[in-house]
Amino acid sequence: MLQSKLIGETKKEWPNEASIKSHGLLLKGGYIKQMASGIYTLLPLAKKVVSKIENIIREEMNNIDAQEILMPLVATKKLWDMSGRYDSVGSELLRFKDRNDTEMVLSMTHEEATVFTMLNEGKSYQKYPFSVYQIQTKFRDEARPRAGLIRVREFTMKDAYSFHTSKESLDKEYDKFFNAYNNIYRRVGIKEVIAVASDTGMMGGSGAHEFMLLCDAGEDKIVVCKNCGYSANMEVAYTDNIETSTKEENSLEKISTPNIKTIEELHEFTKIPVNQIGKAVIYQRLDTMQTVIVFIRADREVNETKLRNLLNIDDEKLVPKKEEENDNITYGFVGPVNLNANNATIVYDISLKNEKSLVFGANEYDYHLKGVNISRDVGEVKYFDVSKVEKSDYCPICHKKELTISNGIEVGNIFKLGDKYTKTMQMKYVDENGKEQTPIMGCYGIGVGRLMASVLEAKATQKSVNWPVSIAPYDVHICPIDYKKNENVKDISNKIYNNLMSQGLDVLLDDRNKSTGVTFADADLIGAPIRIIVGNRNLVNNSVEIKISGKDESILVNIEKVTDFVKTAREELLKEVN
Amino acid sequence: MLQSKLIGETKKEWPNEASIKSHGLLLKGGYIKQMASGIYTLLPLAKKVVSKIENIIREEMNNIDAQEILMPLVATKKLWDMSGRYDSVGSELLRFKDRNDTEMVLSMTHEEATVFTMLNEGKSYQKYPFSVYQIQTKFRDEARPRAGLIRVREFTMKDAYSFHTSKESLDKEYDKFFNAYNNIYRRVGIKEVIAVASDTGMMGGSGAHEFMLLCDAGEDKIVVCKNCGYSANMEVAYTDNIETSTKEENSLEKISTPNIKTIEELHEFTKIPVNQIGKAVIYQRLDTMQTVIVFIRADREVNETKLRNLLNIDDEKLVPKKEEENDNITYGFVGPVNLNANNATIVYDISLKNEKSLVFGANEYDYHLKGVNISRDVGEVKYFDVSKVEKSDYCPICHKKELTISNGIEVGNIFKLGDKYTKTMQMKYVDENGKEQTPIMGCYGIGVGRLMASVLEAKATQKSVNWPVSIAPYDVHICPIDYKKNENVKDISNKIYNNLMSQGLDVLLDDRNKSTGVTFADADLIGAPIRIIVGNRNLVNNSVEIKISGKDESILVNIEKVTDFVKTAREELLKEVN
């Protein structure tokens, strides 16, 4: 490709709208063009990178015998009613009507479509297990699209679905996908991706992992134990034990705290450290309309995902309780001692377990209790881990105090769905004994555009994209100095270009009339892993300068040996990711 | 691939809902699954065929230096307002609102998106010409989806757009695409596709061709001259001359035709042949609200596309006039003689040009005129060709009477758009003299799924898909007889399978426990161009039977020579389409 013809103009300035590195580089390098909020066009450079990523994904999927299909983006409400998700999913599911007033959706995921497609496929146990996948467009009407390709509304995703007649079969396939995913991340150049236990959220199911690239731009919080490697999304990270802040018992004492309702006010008023105060966080279930009171140490936060999982309640069905008159709750002064809350569910967080003397509300307006010892003053209660893990907590696996909390980008996820969709949609197979059974499922997703952006977050600097060789838009970038002015430079550059092209390499030749500064700055934004600088200074010695990605020094290579040198260098680079 | 694992069950019966051959075969063979009206999932066999077609298209696009991009399906109303098409396109453009009440559309084509994407790309004349393409999902809310993948709502399309600074450059690129398209049709196995002149319709522009596969299932009517090869879509097919039906002049005679309003009634009443009667077809312009009266011989039909082009009026802005009181029109009795129609546009069709004596309405209720000779009774008028061409007409190019009219499926189209979109969307470049200019465009489309179905319409029988080698889902199908019962058959089949797979061929092995009848019937529905039958009868002579697509006789091949034989046979088959 001649660079003068390449669509995708580079920009001189760092784009103002870029919130993170990958976003800025993709805009500055002419990879993407924003069409609307969270909606982008991929220009040729990005399309080339994405195609290479897709091919790697496709190879890894085919290797584990997943079969490629293509399902539609547009689906009927009727299909989503079959699983109940038309009602249970929020407004990120885009709903609309077609010309005949039929209610439709833009699919944000394809569990329903897959089960519907497979209803007639998995009739006999002999067909199982089987897996299908697609690389396909989805739409998710995000409230806040952000960070370029990291959180968009329209995106390409590889989603796969496996079908099984037993839990053992699902576990085995899950492991295969787990390995295939690790292969994919290694092959696209980010083998540092880690798998963490995650919440199953709106997908349902019995087990799940997210693949996380740890980096500042990530919007997830990931807990990792430096000692044993335990890792989990903050949403479902647990702790074994929390350092206590009160070790000595005190007698119970009622104190007057007129109009002191918040922890901060209480701390100011009493001078007692926040971690020696207990608080009540009050929720309402929207299904049973019951009140849920969580008692937790005041320096900790409730982890609502863990709380929902404990209560076995759907997303969006547990909300902070609004103050109401006549509901018998002494808002601002709720505590565990002498609590009169018939019908409410009381949850004691693990952070209270070993505390000997806390301040709590006295269940009476304008009063608190000092010296609360729950086991003494309330009796034996069960403690549950519903607080957000903190760095200072103990690892639930190795019990060491070496947890770290990092930001992470989710670059893939895998779920054991169980029978959530097959049951509601009445998919059946006939087993060995002629009996009808419900198959179980797994599902496995990777967002392709987000993966491309994540590679930049991991590998790029503010000036240089540094694509791994396996997904770089071009294998080789020829950067002549004075191409338009120096006939010899032009001839040799063209000759090298044609030789490399004839070897099947993807080569870009900068045939523009630009300064060396612009040529190299643009080359940094395109990021071919092998760069050949053709200039008069070295041509007098029959040489060109070759710079290999990841190597500090460039090498002078005789012009007759360029093709062989480049092919060998590329093989070496590929070895690092394969 | 082991056939026992292949997703996509074949059906025993011809599907009731199938309206045409390709629809029936794709359903019966387990290629597609209908998800909603005009919305399908591609199962593995179809996805494999489609991927091969897409790769051929991609190679041909890359060969003419078109650059691949990927634009989104979802677009804003704002974007479509820039060209004015948000208002001018009918309800096939699906409109909806996102969660923020922003008005959006599902793109059915991407002229607006491309121009918007390229606004900052084509700033200097030096960048021109350039072309981009994508292989991408579109949605068109068809009123009547039909015929399987021929007319659907959601579909994958290759659409390309070229940008130019001169008409000559556009003409040159247009020819390149023209040739690339012919290459594509040849390579997917239907070189019989012809290019016909077509209407530019809602796309606007100065010239267009449609690529047509002539076959009964087509919904377009195509006019082709057997003598000179002139070809055109019926919408824009012209004729040089129409055989006259009245050669002798008669004097004008007013006849009483009480309540005789239709041509049929008039023919019954007067016994005068329909082709010696003239009729008035009355339209209303919705832009100027003027009446348009077309006089045409009663045995002919008005070609509304040609009429609209003549009047230079948009689609949907010319409609049949409804009878209204007090509008001075003697409905049922309108004729050219003594017509009092101030303000109406009168169009005389070419079919009237040489007629000497026709019956026409007398512009007076319950009366007609016999013996009308327009030049004598009205005066000299201009005749325009606004009637639908018929077989009996003269070719506009060679003037011979050898026109044929066939059904055709449109498998591609190319348009010279001119500045229709660049002008309204204010795309500009700076020319050699530093002056701002508007570039001009071409656009070029192929529907991928429709192309797959069209290949079936051309090549398949009701029982056998007969895929051309270049797009068949599998290169080789091994069909053992008694695979489960005969160990030798199983061993040899497996050995051949592994050998062929190791050569990079795409091989399907029927490892199921099915009767020979089912095995072969299913093989006909899968359509691998090379079929290897492994059975005891030939194994005793160390041979297997190989059937090559398009050859009547199958051949016995020694089992040691199977791999070489297959590779050679495949090369031979590929030569036919390359």
Residue A75 near residue B35, CB atoms below 8 Å: yes
All residues of chain B having their beta carbon less than 8 Å from the beta carbon of residue A48 are: 68
Beta bridge partners, B163, equal B130, B441
Residue A193 near residue A457, CB atoms below 8 Å: no
Q: Environment class of residue A310 by beta-carbon count within 10 Å: exposed (0-12), middle (13-18) or buried (19+)?
A: middle
All residues of chain A having their beta carbon less than 8 Å from the beta carbon of residue B113 are: 35, 41
- Report residue B559: phi and psi, to 5°: -65, -25
CB atoms under 10 Å from CB of B540, counted, come to: 9
What does the alpha-carbon distance between residue A96 and residue B255 come to, in Å, rounded to a whole number? 60
- Min distance A46 CA to chain B CA atoms (Å): 8
- Min distance A108 CA to chain B CA atoms (Å): 13
All residues of chain B having their beta carbon less than 8 Å from the beta carbon of residue A156 are: 70
pLDDT tens per residue, chain B (578 residues)?
Answer: 999 999 999 999 999 999 999 999 999 999 999 999 999 999 999 999 999 999 999 999 999 999 999 999 999 999 999 999 998 888 899 999 999 999 999 999 999 999 999 998 889 999 999 999 999 999 999 989 999 999 999 999 999 999 999 999 999 999 999 999 999 999 999 999 999 887 665 444 568 899 999 998 888 999 999 999 888 889 888 888 899 999 899 999 999 999 998 999 999 999 999 999 999 999 999 988 899 999 999 999 999 999 998 998 877 789 999 887 777 788 899 999 999 877 899 999 999 999 999 999 999 999 999 999 999 999 999 999 999 999 999 998 899 999 999 999 999 999 999 999 999 999 999 999 999 999 999 999 999 999 999 999 999 999 999 999 999 999 999 999 999 999 999 999 999 999 999 999 999 999 998 999 999 999 999 999 999 999 999 999 999 999 999 898 999 999 999 999 999 999 999 998 88
What does the alpha-carbon distance between residue A563 and residue A404 come to, in Å, rounded to a whole number? 47
Residue A248 pLDDT level (bands cut at 50, 70, 90): very high
What does the alpha-carbon distance between residue A185 and residue B303 come to, in Å, rounded to a whole number? 59
Place of tokens 């236990």: A197
Q: Does B51 touch chain A (CB under 8 A)?
A: yes
What does the alpha-carbon distance between residue A511 and residue B183 come to, in Å, rounded to a whole number? 30
Instruction: Find residues 303-342 of chain B whose CB sits inside 8 Å of chain A.
Output: none
Instruction: Find residues 2-31 of chain B whose CB sits inside 8 Å of chain A.
Output: 4-9
Residue A73 pLDDT level (bands cut at 50, 70, 90): very high
**Nearest CA among B13, B9, B26, B15 for reference residue B457:** B26
What does the alpha-carbon distance between residue A568 and residue A571 come to, in Å, rounded to a whole number? 5
Instruction: Find residues 240-279 of chain A whose CB sits inside 8 Å of chain B.
Output: none
The shortest CB-CB distance from A154 to any of B33, B37, B74 is to B74
pLDDT value at residue A197: 81
Residue A205 pLDDT level (bands cut at 50, 70, 90): low
pLDDT value at residue A200: 61
Q: What is the DSSP letter of A112?
A: H
Note the pLDDT tens digit of each residue in A106-162: 999 999 999 999 998 889 999 999 999 999 999 999 989 999 999 999 999 999 999
Residue A202 pLDDT level (bands cut at 50, 70, 90): very low
pLDDT value at residue A342: 74
What does the alpha-carbon distance between residue B163 and residue B131 come to, in Å, rounded to a whole number? 6
What does the alpha-carbon distance between residue A173 and residue A438 come to, in Å, rounded to a whole number? 18
Using CA atoms, how far residue B418 sits from B112, B119, B127, B235, B422, in Å, is 14, 16, 18, 21, 8
Q: Does A33 touch chain B (CB under 8 A)?
A: yes
- Min distance A19 CA to chain B CA atoms (Å): 22
The shortest CB-CB distance from A35 to any of B40, B113, B127 is to B113
- Kindly tell me if the per-residue pLDDT of A177 is higher than 80: yes
CB contact under 8 A, B69 and A97: no
- Report residue A421: phi and psi, to 5°: -90, -40
CB contact under 8 A, A106 and B143: no
Q: Number of helices and strands (H, E) in chain B?
A: 15, 29
- Report residue B103: phi and psi, to 5°: -80, 130
Q: Environment class of residue A264 by beta-carbon count within 10 Å: exposed (0-12), middle (13-18) or buried (19+)?
A: exposed
Q: Environment class of residue A344 by beta-carbon count within 10 Å: exposed (0-12), middle (13-18) or buried (19+)?
A: buried
**Nearest CA among B240, B188, B237 for reference residue B210:** B237
The shortest CB-CB distance from A35 to any of B35, B75, B94 is to B75
Cβ within 8 Å of residue B47, ≥6 positions away = A68, A69, A70
pLDDT value at residue B206: 61
Instruction: Find residues 96-125 of chain A whose CB sits inside 8 Å of chain B.
Output: 96-99, 102, 104, 106, 113, 116-118, 120-121, 123
Residue A461 pLDDT level (bands cut at 50, 70, 90): very high
Q: Does B45 touch chain A (CB under 8 A)?
A: no
Q: Does A139 touch chain B (CB under 8 A)?
A: yes
| End-to-end CA separation in angstroms for chain A | 27
User: Whats the size of chain B, residue-wise?
Assistant: 578
Provide the angle, in degrees to the nearest 10, between the axes of the packed helices A487-502 and A562-577.
50
Question: Which parts of B165-200 are beta strand (E)?
Answer: 194-197
- Report residue B577: phi and psi, to 5°: -105, -5
Beta bridge partners, B476, equal B507, B530
CB contact under 8 A, B74 and A99: no
Residue A139 near residue B74, CB atoms below 8 Å: yes
pLDDT value at residue A337: 94
Retrieve residue B244's tokens: 């006259």
> What ipTM does this complex have?
0.89
Task: Measure the CA angle with vertex A314, ends A94 and A236; round to 5°.
Answer: 105
Q: What is the DSSP letter of A124?
A: B
Provide the angle, in degrees to the nearest 10, between the axes of the packed helices B44-63 and B167-187.
140
Q: What is the DSSP letter of B29?
A: T
Q: Which of A7, A37, A61, A121 to mutate to test the interface with B (most CBs of B within 10 A)?
A: A7
All residues of chain A having their beta carbon less than 8 Å from the beta carbon of residue B106 are: 74
Retrieve residue B288's tokens: 């100027």
- Report residue A477: phi and psi, to 5°: -120, 115
CB contact under 8 A, B39 and A75: yes
Pairing between β-strand B476-480 and β-strand B530-534 as defined by DSSP bridges: parallel
What does the alpha-carbon distance between residue A473 and residue A448 come to, in Å, rounded to a whole number? 15
DSSP for A9-72, written as a single string: PPPSSPPTT--SHHHHHHHHTT-EEEEETTEEEE-HHHHHHHHHHHHHHHHHHHHTTEEE-B--
Q: Which domains are delineated in chain A?
A: 50-235+405-457 (3.30.930.10), 253-384 (3.90.960.10), 476-577 (3.40.50.800)
- Min distance B50 CA to chain A CA atoms (Å): 10
pLDDT above 70: percentage of residues in chain A: 98
- Find the radius of gyration of the CA atoms of chain A: 29
Question: Between A and B, how many CB-CB pairs are < 8 A?
Answer: 165
CB contact under 8 A, B99 and A106: no
Note the pLDDT tens digit of each residue in A501-541: 999 999 999 999 899 999 999 999 999 999 999 999 999 99
- The amino acid at residue B73 is L
Q: What is the DSSP letter of B424?
A: H
pLDDT value at residue B452: 98
Question: Which parts of B32-93 are beta strand (E)?
Answer: 32-36, 39-42, 66-68, 74-76
Q: Is A312 left (phi over 0), alpha (psi -120 to 50) or beta?
A: left
User: Whats the size of chain A, residue-wise?
Assistant: 578
Closest-CA residue of A relative to B6 is: A67
Retrieve residue A566's tokens: 């480049």
